[in-house]
Structure 1
Amino acid sequence: LTKNNFNPQKNNCPLLCRRNFHGPSRCVLCRGEEETVHHLLVHCVWVSSLWQLGLSLMGVCWVQPQKVHDVLVAWKRRMKKGLAFGVWKLIPLAIWWSVWKERNRRIFEGQDLSLHDFKHYFLRILY
């Protein structure tokens, strides 16, 4: 999922447009910035709140990398064996799954979770 689908060099827009699908150019979560892979999965204020929540649960302070690939590399480096190892491995996937589901909910169902409910959704996935 993460390696093959989140390649920022891969531009799917022409393919999707030929199939008559025109997605949003603005992020549907924050409704402010242009929707790029890096914005949607790392830098959007909604997503940043999930990163901060996940990291605080683990007692970790860190500076968020600029690119999705760099997040994965840094995340893997920080992995340590131990009791919380399983949760640590799941945090990025739980964040990205939450983003995917909320983005689809907004685009295809016209429904929005509040930020508070979005965080609870993430925690339910994580635990």
Structure 2
Amino acid sequence: METLFPDIHNLVLQQQSTIADLWTPQGWKFVFRRYLNDWEIPRVTEIFRSIDQFSGLEIGRDRLQWLGNSKGIFKVGAVYKKLNHPNLQLLKWPWKHIWKAKIPYKVSCFVWLLTKEAVLTQDNLMKRGITLCSRCFFCGKTAETVNHLFIQCKVTDQLWNLFLRRKSISWSMPGRISEALFSWEEAGTQAKNRSNWRIVPATIWWTI
């Protein structure tokens, strides 16, 4: 929770508790230091959704289980296939939009940080130990994450729509930066000038 949901982790009183301390036959027992705000409730719901497959505690020795296959057995060959899957590499690392686009080097570095979700948004500052009440600087309705601020926020969406409507382009915005770059590359296969097409996402995000 501390890594994935730092804003909610700061509100939980049992920060040093184990899984056994937090789990009861009736479900999870989180105790918050104050009442949750409206914009924090969806984050808590997201936490419960991510752990809803937890089936409870079993008596026995701890054991390692690899999630790469259904049997939980680690195999080097399976890891190699996952790491070298061409579509997976393209989806997770859209390098053409970062290093081949005709943009200043500092902008390329900025887009690289965006792809890594390492830009210092409020949620990343909280991961570094800075206490904040994470809310989007633009809309103020949800936590300020990289993907929200640069893709999902309604203010960012207005910037994208301004360009898309002007060029009469129909495009659906994905949920993550890396997916957006990959999707934009796919959408621009018929563009007359691919170089100009590739600089559009970086231009909009640098403007933000």
Under a length normalisation based on structure 1, what TM-score does the superposition of the two structures give?
Answer: 0.61
Bigger mean CA offset, 1-10 vs 39-48 = 1-10
| 1:34-84 deviations in Å (ceiling 9; x for gaps) | 10111001010000001111112222111111111110000111224525x
Q: CA-atom RMSD, angstroms?
A: 2.5
Structure with bigger RCO (C-alpha 8 Å, 6+ apart): 1
The answer as to 2:172 corresponding to 1:63 is yes
Equivalence map 1:18-29=2 (5 Å): 25-29=134-138
Percent of aligned pairs with the same amino acid: 26
Instruction: State the 1:97 CA deviation.
Output: 1.1
Letter in 1 for 2:186: R
CA distance in 2, matches of 1:38, 1:46: 13
| 8 Å Cα contact 1:65/1:71 also seen in 2 | yes
CA distance in 1, matches of 2:186, 2:144: 28
Partner of 2:198: 89
| 8 Å Cα contact 1:24/1:35 also seen in 2 | no
Unaligned runs of 5+ in 1: 100-127
Unaligned runs of 5+ in 2: 1-108
| 1:12-34 deviations in Å (ceiling 9; x for gaps) | 534363xxxx5661011111111
Instruction: State the 1:9 CA deviation.
Output: 7.6
Which segments of structure 1 move beyond 6 Å, counting only runs of 4 or more? none
Partner of 1:31: 140
Instruction: State the 1:3 CA deviation.
Output: 2.3
Question: By percentage of residues, which structure has more helix?
Answer: 1
Give the total of aligned pairs: 94
Under a length normalisation based on structure 2, what TM-score does the superposition of the two structures give?
Answer: 0.39
Instruction: State the 1:91 CA deviation.
Output: 1.9
